[in-house]
Amino acid sequence: METEEKDKTTVPKSDRVLRHVVLFKFAAHAGPAELSEIGRALSALRGKIPEILDLEWGTDVSIEGKSQGFTHCLLVTFAGEAQRAVYLPHPEHKKFGQKIREEGLLEDVIVFDYWTPVC
């Protein structure tokens, strides 16, 4: 079986999923109503983009104090790179990103993708 070259893992591609992690640092003026609406909009992507295997949205509850102002996390799971390639330019995904940028709600973002074995 073919394995992913980039991460040098020995887990076959068919036994892995691709995780897309997005950490959000919102502007100080982003209030509870706006953040709640963002959560609803992100959660709705799962029903609008069939390539999404799973989607989680949550708020930082770490007690370590190392979040550097990033307060929310989005975790999207894909079967592979082809599905992520559909998601990234998907009109619903783009519409969400454009909306939070236009409203000035996003101060910073970190995106990190990785392969993990299917459990």
What is the tens place of the pLDDT at every residue in 19-40?
999 999 999 999 999 999 999 9
Residue 4 scores a pLDDT above 80: no
6 assigned to some structural domain: no
Tell me, what CATH number does 109's domain have? 3.30.70.100
What would the mean pLDDT of 94-99 be, rounded to a whole number?
92
Q: Which helix (H) or strand (E) holds 48?
A: helix 32-48
Pairing mode, if any, of strands 54-59 and 72-78? Answer: antiparallel
Look up the pTM and report it.
0.86
Write down the pLDDT at residue 9.
52
Q: How many domains does the chain have?
A: 1
What is the tens place of the pLDDT at every residue in 48-86?
999 999 999 999 999 999 999 999 999 999 999 999 999
Across the chain, the runs of DSSP E, i.e. the strands, are 16-26, 54-59, 72-78, 106-117
